[in-house]
Structure 1
Amino acid sequence: MSKKVLENKYFIYDHPRKKGILYFAKYCITGIENVFYNICFCLVRKKRLSRKYKVTICAIFKNEAPYLKEWIEYHRIIGVEHFYLYNNNSSDDFQDVLQPYINSNKVTLIDFPKQHAQKKAYQDCINKYRKEAEWIGFIDIDEFVVPVKDNNIIDFLNRFKKYPAVKIYWKVFGTSGIIDRDINGLVVNDFRISWPKYDEVGKCFYNTSFDVNLNSKKMSVLHHNFWGVWHKIALPPVNCFGFISQHGFEKVKNKDFPIQINHYFTKSYNEYFNIKAIKGDVWYKENQHPKKSYFFRHEMLCTKRDDSINKYLIKLKLIMKK
């Protein structure tokens, strides 16, 4: 009989797991596969690429105008040099917010009116822009990459040049008890209460020196689980500790994660139900957000303060004041 497991020492499972015979058989098979992949990684030799940018981010957005400036400026502080932003049927004033960044060549804006088109937007970005950047990260506007051990994303990624992609885990943040909020305030300053452990779900930064098969079944959710190709061999991503991440099996060294993605899943209560729940989703056809059970499933796990992002706040506040 399978046992349902909600968490382990380091992770809260976004989707509870059933541990039984099939689970342990899959675990053993994955271990054997990982031996092969680690041998491949030992053999990988990659030449230094001459690219226009070292680190870029690709994101698809819909009606996110109030949040775009903070999100861009924060990621510029940690070393992101360029942004490929896909507008998915927005009706707000996003153009006014983004125009200065477009003019200064910090943002490439692409209109992408397809429905539920997150994966297609990422595929389009890879096909069009992979030769411009050494790394392309795939995250959302409510996600902020936080280098904890390093002070910038470039130093972190420099340790992973022989891997096709690096997975960075979510730290999920809730409302911090806020119902109404002045949306002119900084998201990263207003919300401090998170899950006490990491979500085993994360997002990937793609190393463009590796080829990629966008039609592979392994790439069905490429932003969460990015596989590269080396000499026609599909290779899985590694996590922020350098361990292979596949089939949901996540190995870590200790509780001191060197980097995380702050996922501001809800923001305030009214922002969640008046904005996020209404606008729909660029990925799922069935929008789960209006369900209060879905909201409280995440909110009730937010029991610990996380200030990992604090070291970047003064720089961000000074920039935003300008």
Structure 2
Amino acid sequence: MYKLSVGALFKNESHSIREWIEHYLYHGVDHFYLIDDSSTDNSVEIIQPYIDKGIVTLFSGNNWGYYLGRQMNMYNHFIMPRLSESEWLLIVDLDEYVWSPQAIDLKIILGQCKHIGQIQINNTVFGSNGHIEQPKSLVAGFTKRSGMKPTITPECGNLKYFVNTSFNFTSLNIHHATFVDKNDEIHKFVMLDLPYFVLNHYNCQSVNFWNSVKCTRGDGDHYRIRTPDDFKIYDFNDVEDIELYEQNKELIARLGLI
């Protein structure tokens, strides 16, 4: 059984998928359940070595229709049946990097949470740093964020979560899982932000990435198309924050991303 796994849906993430996987491996993740949502770039080729090593289980979401709720349905079709293979499962997107100020290994914090069924984390939104071209590393390249940590606004409020698989769930949703026992939802469902967990959300990234990738691939959960004008909604550059970079700088150097 894996101690900690990550589940995610991705499409056209070749610019950062290697750094994202290595980030989570560095922070104590044992396994990944990844759903390829009809990528047209070389994302799958990049992660093939991790598949070959048994680190990544890859599912094909090709030809899945576009409708509101599709992301949840793919989680439940592909990942939900594998829930019993891990003690903890983290559901995030490919532009979301969860870490802890208290320990490099996320399992150290989770080891103190065995009585908790589900942990939600608010996101902290990072901006473009003024980048037109995409830098090699998300963590090293995008170090300016919203002045609000976590970033809780109508436009940018975003929650992701860990589930403790010793509890029972009926559904894995985008921002939370649904407990079988409603008493667990009342008593075993907590939010743990600072000082335990932080979710760096690299939403907009560079101008060229936004226009060439985000505005062309669609939204993972439905048919909504982003526009170039949407970029400024997420482009927060209020505060310099290199805390995750300080944790990851040796990893980033080893990956040759500087």
Aligned counterpart for 1:103 among listed residues 52, 67, 73: 52
1:142-195 Cα offsets, whole Å, 9 max, x none, are 11112112222101112221222101111101101111234xx11110000001
Which residue is equivalent to 2:8? Answer: 59
Query: Deviation at 1:125?
Result: 3.9
* Aligned pair partner of 1:257 in 192, 195, 199: 195
In structure 2, the partner of 1:163 is: 116
TM-score calculated relative to the size of structure 2: 0.88
Of 21, 42, 65, 1:93 maps to 42
Corresponding position of 1:186: 137
| Alignment equivalent of 1:225, drawn from 176, 181, 187 | 176
Alignment partner for residue 241 of structure 2, among 306, 312, 321? 306
Q: Which residue does the alignment assign to 1:317?
A: 252
Q: Which residue of 1 aligns with 2:155?
A: none
Given that residues 33 and 79 in structure 2 are in contact (C-alpha distance below 8 angstroms), is that contact kept between their aligned partners in structure 1? no
Per the alignment, in what secondary structure is the counterpart of residue 111 of structure 2? helix
Partner residue, 1:40: none
* Residue in structure 1 matching 2:227, options 280, 287, 290: 290
Q: Which one-letter code corresponds to 2:185 in the other structure? A: L
3-state SS in 1 of match to 2:109: helix
CA deviation string 1:97-149 (max 9, x = no partner): 11110111100000012134311121124432111001111101111112112
Q: Kindly tell me: are residues 66 and 180 of structure 1, through their superposed partners in 2, closer, same or farther at Cα, counting changes over 3 Å?
A: closer
- The residue aligned with 1:275 is 213
Superposed CA RMSD in Å reads 1.9
Q: Conserved in 2, the CA contact under 8 Å of 1:164 and 1:229?
A: no
Equivalent residues of 1:138, 1:204 under 8 A apart: yes
Structure 2 SS opposite 1:238: strand
Q: So what's the TM-score if we normalise by structure 1?
A: 0.71
Unaligned runs of 5+ in 1: 1-51, 242-255
- Answer yes or no: is the 8 Å Cα contact 2:59–2:78 preserved in 1: no
Contact 1:227 1:234 in 2 (8 A): no
Bigger relative contact order (CA 8 A; separation at least 6) = 2
Contact conserved, 1:77 with 1:315, CA < 8 A, in 2?
no
**Aligned pairs, how many?**
245
Q: Indicate how the Cα distance of structure 1 residues 284 and 291 shifts in structure 2: closer, same or farther if over 3 A, else same.
A: farther
- Report the Cα distance in structure 1 between the residues aligned to 2:228 and 2:131, rounded to whole angstroms: 19
Distance 1:178 1:136, change over 3 A: same
Distance 1:74 1:270, change over 3 A: same
- CA-CA distance at 1:83 after TM superposition: 0.4
Q: CA offsets, 1:67-97, max 9 Å, x none?
A: 1111001110000110000001111112221
Q: Which runs of 5 or more residues in structure 2 are unaligned? A: 153-157
1:126 and 1:64 map into 2 onto residues whose CA distance is: 20
Percent of counterpart pairs with the same letter? 27
- Aligned counterparts of 2:37 and 2:26: Cα–Cα separation in 1: 26
